[in-house]
Amino acid sequence: MKYRSKVVWCLCLLLAGLAVVAVVPHIAHAATRCEACKGTGRDICEFCGGVGCAQCNFKGGKYSCYFGFCDYAKCRYCDGEGVIYTAAEKAAMEKKAESERAGQAMKAEMEQVRIKKAVQEARASIDTFTDNRDGKSYKKLTVGSQTWMGENLNYNAAGSKCYGNDENNCAKYGRLYDWNTAMKACPAGWYLPSQAEWNELTNYVGGWNTAGKKLKSTSGWYNNGNGTDQYGFSALPGGYVQSQSGGIFGDPGEGGRWWSATKSDDGSAWILYMQNNGNDTKMNAFNNRETSLFSVRCVQDISPEERAKMRAKMDQDVQSITLGRNKGSDYDNWQAFYRIPSSVRGNRITAGDTYTFTYSFKSNVAITGNLIIFLVDESATATPRKWWTVLSEYKVIKTGISFNTEISGTVTLNATQTVSSTEERANTLVFQINPASNAASEPTLFFSSFSLKLADAGRLEREAAEWEEKWKKLEAERQEKLEAERQAELARQEAERKQAAQKYINWGIEYHTKGKFNDAIKWYNDALKLNPDADVQEYLEMAKKKKKLKLKR
C-alpha cells in the first residue's frame, strides 16, 4: 500500500511538472509577444481572459491553444520582422496601401495624358523655314518652351565635312562641324543650344533614361536601334570624327553626337549623344576637343517675353497636387501650395486683380469637407516658411469629393489687398480641405487641365512692353557685336590674303632672279588672284618680256 501510494505520488508530481513545462513557454511567449516569433510569420496573442492564449498567424487566422480561443479583436499580427499590430491597424494599413496603389495608377494615367498632349502639340507645331544663305529648307518644331530644328544642319561652312566625304551623307545626316564653326554655323535667328537647353529638352520628353527612344527617328539606326520619334525631332546617327583618331570617321548608323555651346574645364565642349543599343541620351565632355567633328541642331532665338509665355504654359501644365495635413490647436486641415509664375501675375499680386481658375481633376481618395482655394503672399526665401498674408476671398471648389470622379469647373478669385512689405515675396495659390478629410492617406488631386489667368492683363502688357524694349536693346547690342566680329574676321582674312600674296611675290622674284621665268610668272599671277591690288604688275610684265627674249635665243 505504501509502495502504491509512493507510485501515485510520483506520477502526480511528474504530471504537474509536465503541465508546468507545457504552460510556461506559452505564458512567456504571450508576455514577449512578437519578439519570440521573428521570421516565423506567427505571433502569440495577448491573454484571453487571463486563462491562456491562442495563436494567430500573420494573415489573421487563429487556432486553439491549450486553454481555448483568442478574441479576434485583441489578436495581434506579426510581419515576420518582430513588429506587431492590431486588427484595426492592419485594416488601416491595407486601406492606405490600396489608396496609394490607386493614386499611382491615376498618376500613371495622367502622365500618359500629359505625354499624349505634349506629343500632339509638338506634332501640330511642325513647320518649315528656309536658310537664306543657301536656300535649304528645314523642319522646325516646338517642344515645351523651345523651338528646335527638326533635322541636322547642312550648311556648307568652311571646315565642315560630309560623313566619309560623301555628299549623299550630307543630304541624309547633315554636315559635321568642329566646335568653333558650329558656334557660328546656325542661320540668322537661330543658335547652338547650351548644355542646359539640351537638358531642358530631355527632361521635358521624359528624362535621360527614355529620351533617346522618343527623340530618335523611326528608321536609319542599325540593329533595331530605331526610336518612336514621338515629337518629330527625328534624331539620326550621323557619325563623327574624333580629333584624337587622326581624322577617321566613326559610328555611321550606330551613334549620333551633337555639339552644345557649353565648354568644360579641360578645354573640351559638352555634347549630347545617343547610341543604337540604348533608349537613353547622355551628355559628355570627356575628350570632345573643339577640333572634333559632330552634328549640329539649332534652337530658335526668341524674345524673353515669348519664352516667358511658353514657360508659363509649362508651369501651368500641372499633373498633380498633394495636400499635407496641417494640424494645430485651433485648426485641422489639409493644404498644398502652387507658386504662381510671374508671367501670370506680373511682379506681384495687387488689389483689384481678378484671376480665373479653370480645372479638371480626380482625387485618389474620397474627401469630406470643403475643397477651397485662395491667394496668399508669403516669403520666397525665409526658412522655415513665414506665415502668409491672405490676399483674396476664399472660394469653394467642391464640397465632398468621391474617389476617382472627374471634377471640372471655373472659379474667379479677386485680390483684395497688396502687402506693404518690401521683402521679396512669392505669390501663391493655396488649396485647402477644411475641415480635415478623414482620408487614410494624403489626398492627391490629379489634373487633366489646369489654367490660371489674370483677367485684366493691362499691367502684364505694360511689363511685357518694358521687357520687349529691354530685349530689343540687348538684341541690337548683340547684333552690333556680331557685326564687329564679322568685320574683324573679314579684316583678318584680308590681312592673311595680302600676307600670302606678298609671300608669292617674293617667291616670284626669287625665281625671276634665277632666270626661271615660267615659275616667276605663275607666282606673280597667284599673288594677283589673292590680292588684285598687289604691286606686282611691273614684275609680271618684265618676266613675260624676258621669257620671250629667252625663247628667241
Predicted confidence band at 337 (pLDDT cuts at 50, 70, 90)? confident
Give the CA distances from residue 261 to residues 149, 181, 406, 465, 539, in Å, rounded to whole numbers and listed in that order. 16, 11, 45, 30, 49
| Spatial separation of the C-alpha atoms in residues 306 and 343, rounded to whole Å | 10
Q: What is the pTM of this model?
A: 0.47
- Predicted local confidence at residue 419, as pLDDT: 65
- Predicted local confidence at residue 215, as pLDDT: 92
- Predicted local confidence at residue 22, as pLDDT: 44
- Predicted local confidence at residue 27, as pLDDT: 38
Q: Of the given ranges (63-72, 166-175, 311-320, 529-538), which has the lowest mean pLDDT? A: 63-72
Host H or E run for residue 539? helix 537-552
**What interhelical angle do 208-215 and 195-204 show, nearest 10?**
80
Q: Are strands 127-130 and 146-149 parallel, antiparallel or unpaired?
A: unpaired
In the chain, the percentage of residues whose pLDDT exceeds 70 is 70
Is the previous residue joined to 384 through a cis bond, with omega within 30 degrees of 0?
A: yes
Q: Which three cell numbers stand for residue 341?
A: 509664375
- Predicted local confidence at residue 285, as pLDDT: 61
Please write the tens of the pLDDT for every residue from 232-268. Answer: 999 999 988 876 556 678 777 888 999 998 887 666 7
Predicted confidence band at 423 (pLDDT cuts at 50, 70, 90)? very low
77 by Cβ neighbours in 10 Å (0-12 / 13-18 / 19+) ranks as buried
Mean pLDDT of the chain: 75
- Average pLDDT estimate for 3-23: 51
Residue of 17 and 509 predicted with greater confidence:
509
Domains and CATH numbers, the chain: 21-82 (no CATH), 126-302 (no CATH), 319-456 (2.60.120), 468-552 (1.25.40)
Predicted confidence band at 433 (pLDDT cuts at 50, 70, 90)? confident
Please write the tens of the pLDDT for every residue from 108-148. Answer: 776 676 677 777 777 777 889 999 999 999 999 988 878 99
Provide the 3-class DSSP secondary structure of residue 169. Answer: helix
- Average pLDDT estimate for 38-54: 36
Residue pair 419/383 in contact by the 8 Å Cβ criterion: no
Of 359, 426, 341, give the one whose Cα is nearest residue 396.
359
Predicted confidence band at 26 (pLDDT cuts at 50, 70, 90)? very low
Provide the 3-class DSSP secondary structure of residue 380. Answer: coil
- Predicted local confidence at residue 388, as pLDDT: 67
What is the b/e burial string over 268-281, where b = at least 16 CB atoms within 10 angstroms of the residue's CB?
bbbbbbbbbeebeb
Q: Which three cell numbers stand for residue 255?
A: 551613334
- Average pLDDT estimate for 282-305: 79
Residue pair 323/442 in contact by the 8 Å Cβ criterion: yes
Residue pair 294/239 in contact by the 8 Å Cβ criterion: no
Predicted confidence band at 484 (pLDDT cuts at 50, 70, 90)? confident
- Predicted local confidence at residue 418, as pLDDT: 76
Provide the 3-class DSSP secondary structure of residue 100. Answer: helix
What is the b/e burial string over 526-547, where b = at least 16 CB atoms within 10 angstroms of the residue's CB?
bbbebbeebebeebbeebeeee
Please write the tens of the pLDDT for every residue from 502-550. Answer: 888 889 888 888 888 888 888 989 888 888 888 888 888 888 888 877 7
Residue pair 345/426 in contact by the 8 Å Cβ criterion: no
Please write the tens of the pLDDT for every residue from 183-195. Answer: 999 998 899 998 8
Please write the tens of the pLDDT for every residue from 371-413. Answer: 999 988 765 444 444 456 788 889 999 888 888 888 999 999 9
Is the previous residue joined to 435 through a cis bond, with omega within 30 degrees of 0?
A: yes
Q: Which three cell numbers stand for residue 423?
A: 521683402
- Average pLDDT estimate for 346-370: 84
Residue pair 82/97 in contact by the 8 Å Cβ criterion: no
Give the CA distances from residue 440 to residues 91, 96, 514, in Å, rounded to whole numbers and listed in that order. 10, 5, 102
| Spatial separation of the C-alpha atoms in residues 434 and 328, rounded to whole Å | 13
Please write the tens of the pLDDT for every residue from 147-183. Answer: 999 999 999 999 899 998 999 999 999 999 999 999 9
Residue pair 385/379 in contact by the 8 Å Cβ criterion: yes
- Predicted local confidence at residue 190, as pLDDT: 92
Asked if pLDDT for residue 305 goes beyond 60, the answer is yes
